[in-house]
Amino acid sequence: MFLLSLWYGILFLIPSEFQTYLRKENNTMNKVKYLPLIILCMLLTGCGNKNNISKEVPTETAVHTSEVELKTAVETESESSSESDTKTVAEESSETDMKTETSPAANTDTENTAPETKYITIDLSTARETHPTGDAAAPFDLKIVSEEENGIDFANEWYDRKGLSLPMIGTDWNSFYDDNYQYLWSGEELYIFENGTGNCLYVLTYPTDKWYINGNNACLRDGIFYGASVTNGYAQPDTCFMFAYDLENNKLLWRSGDQTCNTMNFIVKKDVIICGYGFTSEKDYLYQLNLHTGEVIASLELKKQPDLLVPQDNMLYVHTYSYNYTIEMQ
């Protein structure tokens, strides 16, 4: 800046003095005398402008460069920060997903937790005939269509020969089913399984004799178990009866009269239980009991003791000691 100021001073002062001097002296040698001074001023002026340009232009360029570098640095930092944030979010999301997948709570709902099996012993030693107040039940109208002597054959042979069908499982006559449950006799215990899941809900023990056919002689409905306590032999007090037992509350609901059931199986149809009783030198009957109270609501006398009952369509096929019956059921 100093050289620039000096140049402008020389530019305005020297030429004026030089022109005055020329007019006064009018001497060529004197003109030559001042020539070096003029050249020196011109050189100094040129050097001064060159220096100013070289100093000012880089400064402006530096400013622009600084702005570009700053902008680039900011953008780079922003991109780096964005990538870091994205990576952090992705890592956190991945960790969260991993925790969700490996967390025990995530699999809790999918696990099938089977209910605990209930072991129940039904004590009937002091049970007496009892009938609570309950809904009325209308008996079926049973009409004998045919009867024939069977030569005292076995019930399972008659069953196979007639091509009859009961809801049995396997061929051992110890496992059967209904709409909701499967039943299995194993020794003195009755196992009850839930259809679909196969969960064993109950294992029941109660006093009853077994026949060579031991199926379709139990039924579970709405938590109430219907069974028969059978004694093989002549009539005795408190033997050969049916009962209803509340499994949830461990309570006997009703017990039918003595000698109302010693058949190998019984039938539960609507609100009625169909069973039978008979023995040597005794009366032989088919009985219909009210499902809700255990009371006998109808009976049909037969010639011999009934042992196996098979409902099919609207017919009831009955095998007895020495006769076979076909009975219409309406």
- List pLDDT tens digits, range 84-99: 444 444 444 444 444 4
Provide the strand spans (E) within the chain: 118-121, 142-149, 175-177, 181-186, 189-194, 200-205, 218-221, 224-229, 241-246, 251-255, 267-269, 272-277, 284-290, 296-302, 306-312, 315-320, 323-329
- Burial class (CB within 10 angstroms; exposed 0-12, middle 13-18, buried 19+) of 173: buried
In a domain, 111, yes or no: no
Query: Of 74, 103, 133, which residue sits at a domain end?
Result: 74
Q: Do 187 and 247 share a domain, yes or no?
A: yes
In a domain, 105, yes or no: no
CATH number of the domain enclosing 243: 2.40.128.630
Q: Do 175 and 309 share a domain, yes or no?
A: yes
In a domain, 247, yes or no: yes
CA–CA dist 169, 175 (Å, integer): 5
Q: Do 56 and 153 share a domain, yes or no?
A: no
Q: Do 306 and 168 share a domain, yes or no?
A: yes
Query: Of 19, 54, 74, which residue sits at a domain end?
Result: 74
Nearest to 169 by CA among 151, 184, 156, 157: 184
Q: What is the mean pLDDT of residues 217-238?
A: 96
217 pLDDT higher than 90: yes
Residue 290 near residue 271, CB atoms below 8 Å: yes
Q: Do 70 and 122 share a domain, yes or no?
A: no
In a domain, 240, yes or no: yes
- Burial class (CB within 10 angstroms; exposed 0-12, middle 13-18, buried 19+) of 24: exposed
CA–CA dist 139, 270 (Å, integer): 10
pLDDT at 100: 38
Could you tell me the residue range of the domain that residue 146 belongs to? 118-329
Count of structural domains within the chain: 2
Global pTM exceeds 0.75 = no
Q: Do 122 and 70 share a domain, yes or no?
A: no
Of 90-99, 156-165, 208-217, the range with the lowest mean pLDDT is: 90-99
276 pLDDT higher than 60: yes
